[in-house]
Structure formats: structure tokens, C-alpha cells
Chain A
Amino acid sequence: MAEPEKETKLLGRNLSQIPCFRETFLYSISSGLAAGLINFMLTSRVQRSAHLAFGVYGCVTIGYWSFCRYNFAKEKFNMGRLQNAMQKQALYEGTDMEKEIKRKD
């Protein structure tokens, strides 16, 4: 079966499979470009606009990456707990343990 989407590979890693990677660089590159362009339109200073564009790119990259990965880790942890609870529920269904858990809840 052929892959429907084209994979973006860098050094053997499929970049689209790295959580938060695509969104981080999408937002950071576009916000950097936007900030640089707006600054250039307002000030007509090429070098300063370029520095600003790069600075915004760096800040948004590290900021959004940290924020996104933190949320990903929290969600992953909660999904793991939910999965664990669902597995245990299937195991305990109809037994005395289930009655005890329901009584405690």
C-alpha cells in the first residue's frame, strides 16, 4: 500500500512524526517573517527588520515548543492513566473488586 502523504525526512527521521515539530516551525517561521515585514514597512530599515524577524523566530520556536511539549506530556500521562483504568475495569468487571471500587467512589 503506497503512502498517501509525502514524508519529510531529515537525517533518517520523519519530521512529521515528531510531536509538535511541524506546528512549532510553522508558527515560528511565519511569525518571524510577519514581524520582519511589518517592521520593514513601518521603518524601512532592512537590517533591523531582519534582526527582529530572526529574534521573533527564535523566541516563538523555543516558547511554543516548550509549551506544546509540556501539554503533550501531560496529555500522554492522562491517556496512560485512562488506558490503565479501562484495562483494570475490564479485568475487575463482575467481581468483588468492582463492588469495592464503586463503594469507595
Chain B
Amino acid sequence: MATWGHLGFQDSASPLMEQLIFFHDHTMVVLILITTFVGYMMAAMFPNAFVNRFLLENQTIEVIWTILPAIILIFIALPSLRLLYLLDEVNNPSITLKTIGHQWYWSYEYSDFLQVEFDSYMTPSNELDLSGFRLLDVDNRTVLPMNTQVRMLVTAADVIHSWTVPALGVKADAIPGRLNQISFMVNRPGLFFGQCSEICGANHSFMPIVVESVSVSAFLNWISSSSDL
């Protein structure tokens, strides 16, 4: 989860997020190269006292500094397009979860087999445990099985919200009257946090999302115990 002074991505919990981080690292190396090259050129020119009185229309250098950036951009574009199409690949989800954004909480519906529905409100700071995460913990977490393809259908009941979990690399706007579909797979157990990402009123900052990833057997136990309530 995000902690104080956290500048980069959170550790990935999904294969797609892992690929996004790899692409980020690759692009960052290219950018480091370009920046150091430009910095070096500037440093090399500072002590240069010569002035070229006939500096006009040098075709060779113009060609070089057009072709070279194009080649560098190809190095960035090819992994980018691969990732873009990878994110939209068709897969067969094993479980469908519906989430509805309200002012100011999320409600979840697991309607695949047993009708399980619950609301997820942020735990107020004055009711928080000493070990709790302020403004991130919720009363009912979204439990999902590990290593299982999940289909999320996101919508809203009143105004536009946005459901996101950065560690899974997913974000989808929750728009009233519209169903947005996202697909992901959590490949390790744990708690993954997110926050509403579309301004939705006074308590927009106080409707977090917590995904609890557990083993398939633990998930089935939880689902059967939840449906009894």
C-alpha cells in the first residue's frame, strides 16, 4: 500500500500491473539516456568560446537529429503498443463482481452463485484500531480469490465515482446508467487499497476500497458464511 513519501508505483499484485511497471522502467532508462546525453552536450558546449559565423542550413545534422529521435521513439512505442493490446486481451473470467458507487460508500454484489451483497463504508478515524490505516480501512472488505480471473462491473447510483486499486493496475469510472467492465487477476494474497478517483462531493476522499485476496478455499468459506447472514 502507499506510505508516506511514496513516489513510485506500489508493488504489483497482478500480472498486468507487473507489465506496466516493466514498461515504466524501460521508458525510464530511455529517458535517463536522453537526459544525460543532453546534459553532457550542454556541459561540453559551455567552455566552448568559438562562434560559427556561417551556421546556416546544415542538412547532415538536421537529418541526424530527426532520424535518431524517431528510432528512440520506436524503442518506446513497440513495448507500449504490446502492452496496450495486452490490457485489452480477451480472457475467461471465473467470477463476476458488481460494484456500485454511492455518496459516499461502495456497495458490492457477488451474484454468481449465492446472492451476497454488502456496503463498504470507511472506518471513521475515531473508531479505528491502533493498527488500522487512517482513511483507508473499511468495515467490509471486498474478498476475492487468488489466481482467478475476475470480471468487475462498475456503475454508480448517483454521481460519477471511480473504482481503482493501484496495486492491481485497474481503474474504471462508475457512471450512473452505464456499466463499465474491467478484468484482472490477483496473483498474491494480501490487502490492496484504493480510493475513489472521481470528485463526487463532500466525502469524495473518504470512500476507500479494500480488496482482500485469499485462497480459493478461504474465499468459498467466506462466501458461504456471508450468504447465511
Contact = CB atoms under 8 A, between A and B. Distances in A.
Given A11-B8, A18-B25, A65-B29, 9 more contacts: A12-B7, A12-B8, A24-B29, A47-B44, A58-B33, A58-B36, A62-B30, A62-B33, A66-B75
Contact of A62 (B8, B22, B75): B75
Interface in A1-35: 11-13, 18-19, 21, 24
Interface residues of B, number: 16
Contact of A61 (B5, B22, B29, B44): B29
Interface of A: 11-13, 18-19, 21, 24, 47, 50-51, 54, 58, 61-62, 65-66, 69
A58 B22 CA distance: 20
B37 A58 contact: yes
Interface string B1-24: 000011111000000000000100
B178 interface: no
Contacts of A11: 7-8
Contacts of B29: 21, 24, 61-62, 65
B44 A51 contact: yes
Contacts of A18: 25
B188 interface: no
Contact of A12 (B6, B40, B75): B6
Contact of B44 (A50, A58, A62, A65): A50
Contacts of B6: 12
A69 B82 CA distance: 14
B22 to A, nearest CB: 8
Nearest to B82: A73
B40 to A, nearest CB: 5
A21 B25 contact: yes
A54 B30 CA distance: 15
